[in-house]
């Protein structure tokens, strides 16, 4: 048997293993929540804070303008809107819990199918199968989330004067927890809230400490305000209100950043798309979109080299080899990355990605080295030229297109389908060092490596077997699938196509790298603005 035949057999085996691993990861992401749902709640909390902002007496004639701006920023009824969003999040969480419980069955008793009761099942951790610790942990986390949502929904109801509904929400939550013997600190907090809003009120001795420890954000301020008023602690109430005004001002600024910058970018993006479309219609082959659109690459290697780089250099190293190595190392050290703090997790993510990039680029180099010197046009990096305009213009064009696809995608997945695991870490991180590491990983390392592999190598290689538009579509979907989240396939494929168009027209890898970096940096900045929050 020849060496070439042995190599092909190894590639076939690795292909089967890699496809199986990727397939399992995609299936596993099916029942995982998207980060988008959490982002909406973070933004909702900012809106609730900003709604408490008290305007100073406006200059003559400007009162109506301020009111209009406030409505545009917060909506007509921010509390009613917030309650609906929290209830929608609760329904999604309940659906996610049932999915997890179904996977745990028969180790976990099935959730109640009676949908007439809006209260959730909060599964005791002891019911979960010991053979499925990750799903057990997920079920426990979703149960805690549902408890938090119930407590917060009650406060939103109380804020709108729906006191009876609020007390019923908290009471049913407590009864459910007692029935399943899963009482937590939140059940005690719910009892405190019932006492505050009852007629007559009942003040529990540890009311303030329960609120301080178990509530945060706008919800903590509302409960403390109610408590201080009932206790007639005017000095504490005045200090709390002054602090809340500072928080409200910061929230309004964050809302302007989170909502305003993307809105401006979206408008510029629509303008960019209209300009490009009009130029294409008026100038035809002289337009920017027609530039290099039919110019293919001379590809000296065949499908086997493409196969080798993709399977061995990307999927096998990233999905099989590195996890195996890290597993052996951490097992020998008796540690688990899941227990790391956010800074160590950031370092772990960066190290993992750098090893993946180094291994992938090494495989790419070894695979194409026999064909040196490469034909003209391959892996072009040119500092001169219009690559900055292509990168920035592509970023603006991508904003409205990806947002539109994401909105459609949300309707398909209903909050399920998973997300990039880096995003929740960046959202919840408060460590500046960790955020800097995440930024370097997502905005420098990832754009450099992924653009070299998917746009620099895969896209041109595919033009040997299909037209450029076909290579753009195929390479973009492979780029999206490589991120291993079903809910992100369509948005990332759309982004990949824009990256591919930018590269095929500019013929300079700096252009898609810049676009990719801007996209990831914008995402991280939005996450930081939301996650840094205000308490």
Residue 385 vs residue 194, higher pLDDT? 194
Q: Which of 124-138, 212-226, 244-258, 298-312 has the lowest mean pLDDT?
A: 124-138
pLDDT at 428 (0 to 100):
64
Going from the C-alpha of 19 to that of each of 307, 314, 484, the distances in angstroms are 12, 12, 11
Percent share of the chain, pLDDT over 90 = 41
> CB of 444 within 8 A of CB of 514?
no
* Greater model confidence, 334 or 518: 518
| Range in 70-84, 88-102, 412-426, 440-454 the model is least confident about | 412-426
Other Cβ atoms closer than 10 A to 322: 17
pLDDT at 333: 81
Range 188-211 average pLDDT: 92
Which is nearest to 449 in space by CA: 396, 378, 509? 509
Say what the pLDDT of residue 487 is: 81
Q: Which of the pair, 41 or 148, is modelled with greater confidence?
A: 148
Mean pLDDT of 193-199: 93
* Least reliable range by pLDDT among 368-382, 414-428, 439-453: 414-428
Q: What's the pLDDT at 334?
A: 82
CB-based contacts of 199: which residues, under 8 Å, 6+ apart? 163
Q: Quote the pTM value.
A: 0.79
- Kindly tell me if the per-residue pLDDT of 484 is higher than 70: yes
Q: What is the mean pLDDT of the chain?
A: 82
Over range 227-251, report the average pLDDT: 91
| pLDDT value of residue 162 | 93
SS3 9: helix
Q: Of 247, 192, 185, 240, whose CA–CA distance to 214 is shortest?
A: 185
Burial of 196 (0-12, 13-18, 19+ CB in 10 A): buried
DSSP state of 453: I
Two tokens at 122? 């909060």
Domain spans, the chain: 77-232, 262-285+385-535, 306-371
Token code pair at residue 311: 């399977």
Instruction: Answer whether residue 365 shows pLDDT above 50.
Output: yes
pLDDT at 107 over 50: no
CA distance 86 to 97: 16
**Least confident span in 34-43, 67-76, 512-521:** 67-76
Using the 8-state DSSP alphabet, how is residue 451 labeled? I
């Amino acid at each position: 048997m020849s060496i070439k035949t042995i190599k092909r057999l190894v590639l076939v085996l690795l292909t089967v293993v890699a496809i199986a691993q990727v397939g399992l990861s995609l299936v596993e992401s099916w029942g995982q929540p998207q980060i988008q749902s959490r982002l909406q709640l973070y933004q909702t909390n900012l809106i609730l804070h900003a709604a408490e902002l008290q305007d100073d007496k406006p200059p003559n004639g400007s009162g109506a303008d301020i009111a209009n701006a406030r409505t545009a920023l917060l909506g007509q009824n921010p509390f009613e809107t917030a309650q609906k969003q929290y209830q929608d999040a609760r329904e999604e969480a309940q659906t996610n819990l049932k999915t997890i419980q179904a996977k745990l069955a028969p180790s976990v008793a099935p959730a109640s199918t009676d949908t007439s009761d809006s209260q959730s099942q909060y599964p005791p951790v002891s019911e979960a199968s010991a053979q499925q610790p990750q799903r057990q942990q997920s079920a426990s986390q979703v149960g805690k989330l549902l408890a938090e949502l119930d407590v917060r929904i009650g406060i939103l109801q109380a804020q709108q004067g729906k006191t009876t509904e609020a007390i019923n929400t908290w009471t049913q939550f407590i009864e459910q927890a007692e029935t399943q013997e899963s009482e937590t600190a939140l059940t005690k907090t719910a009892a405190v809230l019932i006492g505050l809003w009852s007629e007559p009120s009942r003040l529990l001795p540890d009311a303030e400490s329960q609120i301080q420890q178990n509530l945060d954000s706008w919800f903590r301020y509302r409960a403390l305000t109610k408590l201080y008023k009932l206790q007639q602690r005017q000095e504490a109430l005045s200090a709390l209100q002054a602090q809340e005004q500072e928080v409200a001002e910061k929230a309004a600024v964050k809302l302007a950043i989170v909502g305003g910058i993307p809105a401006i970018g979206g408008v510029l993006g629509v303008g960019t798309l209209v300009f490009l479309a009009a130029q294409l219609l008026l100038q035809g082959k002289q337009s920017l979109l027609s530039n290099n659109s039919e110019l293919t690459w001379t590809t000296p290697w065949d499908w086997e080299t493409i196969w080798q780089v993709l399977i061995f250099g990307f999927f096998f190293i990233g999905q099989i080899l590195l996890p195996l190595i890290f597993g052996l190392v951490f097992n020998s050290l008796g540690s688990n990355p899941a227990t790391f703090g956010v800074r160590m997790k950031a370092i772990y993510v960066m190290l993992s990605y750098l090893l993946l990039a180094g291994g992938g680029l090494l495989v790419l180099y070894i695979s194409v080295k026999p064909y040196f010197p490469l034909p003209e046009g391959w892996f072009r990096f040119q500092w001169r030229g219009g690559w900055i305009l292509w990168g920035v213009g592509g970023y603006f064009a991508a904003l409205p297109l990806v947002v539109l696809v994401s909105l459609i995608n949300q309707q398909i997945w209903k909050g399920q389908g998973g997300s990039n695991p880096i995003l929740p870490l960046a959202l919840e991180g408060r460590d500046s060092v960790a955020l800097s590491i995440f930024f370097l990983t997502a905005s420098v390392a990832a754009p450099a490596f992924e653009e070299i592999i998917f746009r620099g190598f895969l896209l041109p290689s595919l033009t040997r077997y299909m037209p450029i538009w076909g290579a753009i579509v195929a390479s973009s979907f492979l780029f999206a699938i490589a991120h291993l989240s079903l809910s992100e396939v369509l948005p990332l494929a759309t982004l990949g196509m824009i990256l591919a168009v930018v590269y095929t027209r500019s013929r300079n890898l700096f252009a898609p790298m810049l676009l990719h970096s801007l996209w990831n940096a914008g995402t991280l900045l939005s996450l930081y603005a939301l996650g840094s929050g205000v308490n």
